[in-house]
Each structure stands twice: as C-alpha cells, then as structure tokens.
Amino acid sequence: MGLLIALIALVLIGVVAVIVGAPLRRARGARDVAFAPERDELEAAREAKYREIRDAQLDYRTGKLSREDYEAIDAQLRAEAIAILDQLERLTSKDA
C-alpha cells in the first residue's frame, strides 16, 4: 500500500512539473523560431566567408596572388569574418 502511494505521488509530481514547465518551453521555442532566419543567414555568410579565405590561400599558394595582395585580401576577409561572428554572438546572447 505504501509503495502504491509513493508511486502515485511520484506520477503527480511529474505531471505538475510538465504542466508548470510547458509555458517556459513554449516561450523559448518561440524565441528560437523568431531568430532562426537571421541566424541561418549569418551562418551561411560565415561559411561563405570561410570559403573566400580558403580560396585566397589557394590562390596565393598557386601563385595567382602576390604576397602583398594576399595579405591585404586576407586581412579584409578575416575582418569581415570577425564581424559576422560578432553578429552571431550577439544574436546568441539574445537567446540566453
């Protein structure tokens, strides 16, 4: 009999936790959906910028770019990548 009461109490505690936590889960899910398109765009921009950096490195190694040109292009691309990463970081900190 005592085991049955303990089991019922445990089930009731679980049900209460699910009911109380539901609004919190819905609010977080709505916030994630609101920022999803912007996050997707920034992540795509980040990957594109990484490709540009790799392409510039390849162009330099194959002799298509001089050292001076490569360094200028690389510095610019990395600055742009850092700006994108900063935007992603700000967006992520809004989620928290």
Q: What integer pLDDT is reported at residue 49 of this predicted model? A: 97
> Average pLDDT of 10-35?
66
* pLDDT, average across residues 62-79: 96
- pLDDT bin (cut points 50, 70, 90) of residue 17 is confident
pTM (2 d.p.): 0.61
**What residue ranges do the domains of the chain occupy?**
2-95
Contacts of 65 (CB under 8 A, 6+ apart): 56, 59, 73
Give the Cα separation of 91 and 96 in Å (integer): 9
